[in-house]
Each structure stands twice: as structure tokens, then as C-alpha cells.
Amino acid sequence: MDFFKYQGTGNDFVLIDDRDGTFPRTNQALIEQLCHRRFGIGADGLILLQNDPDYDFRMVYFNADGAEGSMCGNGGRCIVRFAHDLGIFERETRFVAVDGAHTAVVNDADISLKMSDVSGIEDRKGLTFLNTGSPHVVRFVDDLASLDVVAEGRAIRYDAAFPGGTNVNFAQVLDNQTVYVRTYERGVEDETYSCGTGVTAVALVAQEQLDVPGPIAIQTIGGNLSVSFQAVADTTSQFTTIYLTGPAERVFAGTITI
């Protein structure tokens, strides 16, 4: 099987051109093995690019544990770069994922991905929760560099307040328009270098609760991203025209026997 490895701010994925529909997508053990960093290719997730009659392509995303996942923002930017590399479109594209339709624009090294509208920022047991295509908790801290993200994130990820689990983002405001973010990802069950839907969640909460103006520059372990958005007038916790922008690139390609 041919495969391609892409990364977006250190969030890395196995990309498969499955336009012929032959990949065994129900084989969770196989997908988990392909994502394993010791016994497989190694990745935070696996993404299939499939045909769709109404869009340029369909994105099907699997977590590193082999289970089909919710929307992945950095994965979305990587599959856009992959589709561009395959010649499926030139500059602008429209594709469909598990959370609905998305548009994206390729601008040199950066991919600008339109995220789903967000409605509702909740308080659950003193934790800020919202869904940006995937479920996320956002917590602001004073010294993010020294925080044990895995231990604290895992405790929240399995809290009974979040049936099905949640991703957990810890954030620190660095200046008026820059936020540093570290994320514990559900499905990976570890800290990742970056999380697209996670930094989107952080940006929206930073605007609503801390009045940080957009577009918001995001620093992650894996690199820099930007989140722009429009707050819906005369409402609270509603955002539209959300764009996640940052680099995505091919790392290598190869073949693997399955």
C-alpha cells in the first residue's frame, strides 16, 4: 500500500489516497498499527481521501487508536495540502468531513481552513467546554511551560462530566493577541505538538472570557497558527466565519505491506 506522511505544526498524519475505496477502514487494529511509532509508520492519526459526488473530496479521519474520530483541524489542513499535491484543485477547495462541509485556500506554505460555526460555551464543573468539530475543555494557567499536561489533561479527559471523553487544552496569554497552547488529545491519549480544533477552541474562549481581539496568534510546541472569527452580534458564545491558518507539508512517502 502506498502512503504519504504529512504534518501541520507537528501534528502528523498518515494520508491514504482511497479514491478507489479499497482501504479496509473497519480494521481498527490495522489503523492503530500503522499509526504506531515503533511498529508502524508513526502518526497522531490516519486520514483517507475519498471521492464524493458533491465535493472535491471526502475526509475520513481516524485517531491513533484506530477508531474513527471527530473533526481534526490540523488534519483538515494536511488533507487539503495532500489534495492539492494530487492535483485535485488549484487554489480553493470545498470538501466534506464528519462535521459537514469545509472550504479551504492554499496560500504558498499556509493552508487557511474554514471551520464549522460554533454555538455554546458551557461551564461544566468549573471547566470551560465547547465543541469546535471535536469536544474541548479550555483552561487558562499562569505558567504553562512547567505544567504536567499529560497528568492533568488525562484526569479531565476521563471526568464523568464529559461522556465519551474530551480533549483538554491548557493556555497562557502571552500578550494582547498571542496565546500559548498545549493540548492533551483524546484518542492519542498523550500531549500532541499541536491541535487545530483545540487552538480554535482556545481562541474563541480567549475572545469571549478575556476579551483578546482576533485574529489571535497561537503558539504551540510544533509551530505557529492563527485563528480568525466573527462573533455573532447581540448573542453570546456564537461564532461564525472561523478560519484556522498555518503551514502543512508533506514529510515523506513510501509503501508498506499490510
**35 an active-site residue?**
no
Question: Which of 137, 168, 195, 212 is an active site residue?
Answer: 195
Task: For the beta carbon of residue 155, count every other beta carbon within 10 angstroms.
Answer: 11
Q: Are 64 and 75 in contact (CB under 8 A)?
A: no
Cβ 3 vs Cβ 16: under 8 Å: yes
**Amino acid letter for position 238:** Q
Catalytic residue among 72, 113, 217, 225: 72
78 annotated active-site: no
Nine-digit cell string for 9: 505544526
SS (H, E, C) the chain: CEEEEEEECCEEEEEEECCCCCCCCCCHHHHHHHHCCCCCCCCCEEEEEECCCCCCEEEEEEECCCCECCCCHHHHHHHHHHHHHCCCCCCEEEEEECCEEEEEEEECCEEEEECCCEECCEEECCEEEEECCCEEEEEECCCHHHCCHHHHHHHHHCCCCCCCCCEEEEEEEEECCEEEEEEEECCCCEEECCCHHHHHHHHHHHHHHHCCCCCEEEEECCEEEEEEEEECCCCCCEEEEEEEEEECEEEEEEECCC
User: Rounded CA gap, 205 and 188, in Å?
Assistant: 24
Catalytic residue IDs: 72, 195
